[in-house]
Amino acid sequence: MSNRSELTRFFNCYILRDNKIIREDLWMRDGKIENPEHIFYVEQLKPTRNINCNNVLIAPGFIDIQINGGWGIDFSYDCDNVEKGIEKVATELLAHGVTSFCPTMVTSSKEKYAKILPKIKKSQGGRHGATVLGVHLEGPFISLAKKGAHLDEYIRTPDKGLESIAEVYGSLDNVVIVTLAPELPGATKAIKELTDLGIKVALGHSTASLAQGEEAVKNGANLITHLFNAMLPFHHRDPGLVGLLASTTKRQVHYGIISDGLHTHPAALRIACRTNPEGLILVSDAVAAQGLQDGKYRIGPQSVTVKDGCAYVTGTDTLCGSTAGLDDCVINFKQSIDCSLEYALQVASLHPAQALGIDNKKGKLNYGYDADLVFLHLETLKVQSTWIAGECVYSIS
């Protein structure tokens, strides 16, 4: 095990910095990225370790802000083994270059929230797994008409604003994102109150008009949950939530995209990217079947059937999340829209960090930033190793 206080120099590598991939050494110490000029000229130190990277590409670690589980674990279901489930998924994510994530709970009963939410705590990552940034609560304050895989009987209306939300969730201490439908009674009030608490609000599972979406953004919402999925399709007289990509609202609206080759057609990916490139965020939206074979699984109270890698609500043709890793989504995204390599990496690192307001320490390889890194094969983009706070926590060798 390496000493985190060691001054480490990575050489013979390419790095993503300032929107460019450059051939340059990367230095780190005490879990942070260091400025080599300051070390050389001011501190006059030499590196403790020199690591030959053999021409790998070093990028900021991936950040998955919407993931329901994986490797047999569903974050919304097993109340008795929550901590073990989080640890299992956090550990497995390291092989996919994910250094931080938001465990996501789908629409559930009040009893489930009461038992599960207090057990999903924010935590610093390491060899035990990726950093837990906080919980993403997707539902139950959503539209029945766009419920997707969410169960009818638990869907609610936030008619009393934050009071209604607190009645269902209980404590919001470990929550960082709430997805809700902005057209619901009380939603505008809830959005403002959640935003005042520092919780990000995502719009989704919704029949909202563009005007309702813009009102939500004016009151603090800054995200759209899995764009194109579980919302009204684009219409030229009222483009709905999709229209927020070209809205004149002053706030940057970020939007999640599932680029697993199934949820979003490549042409739709290109339309979104060309309309609002700064807001695009890749999410896995992975379910318990991630990393496993076809079969029967769960997503919250619903049974899931996975066939040929596609997850459906059992007995229906309703999609319910993906089985893809975020690293696969990055590769598929780049191939689908033929974007730059720099951009394909940023939409899985910098953009989610910006949406969560943590881009002052994550999502870049700037000096002083967390040394959360993913080493990638320069041509295939396959993960070679993953580093959290300057420590190698996964390696293929």
Q: Residue positions in the annotated binding site?
A: 138, 149, 205, 226, 229-230, 237, 263, 319-321
Contacts of 303 (CB under 8 A, 6+ apart): 296, 297, 313, 314
CA distance 231 to 186: 19
Contacts of 362 (CB under 8 A, 6+ apart): 60, 61, 63, 100, 349, 353, 369, 370, 372
Q: Which residues on neighbouring strands pair with residue 269, listed in sequence order?
A: none
Active site residue 327: no
Cβ-based neighbour number of residue 51 at 10 Å: 16
What is the DSSP annotation of 17-71? Answer: ETTEEEE--EEEETTEEE-HHIIIIII----SEEEEEEEEEEEEPEEEEEE-EET
Please classify residue 248 by burial: count the beta carbons closer than 10 Å to its beta carbon, then call 0-12 exposed, 13-18 middle and 19+ buried: exposed
Q: Of 316, 323, 325, 324, give the one whose Cα is nearest residue 151.
A: 316
Contacts of 377 (CB under 8 A, 6+ apart): 56, 57, 384
Which residue shows structure tokens 């390291």?
94
CA distance 31 to 39: 15
CA distance 96 to 17: 21
Query: What are the distances in angstroms from CA 376 to CA 129, 380, 397?
Result: 19, 8, 13
Contact 355, 223 (CB under 8 A): yes
Q: Which of 64, 78, 285, 370 is catalytic?
A: 285
The CA angle 208-251-277, to the nearest 5 degrees, is 85
Contacts of 372 (CB under 8 A, 6+ apart): 60, 61, 99, 100, 125, 131, 362, 387, 388, 389
CA distance 395 to 224: 34
Q: Which residues are the active-site residues?
A: 285
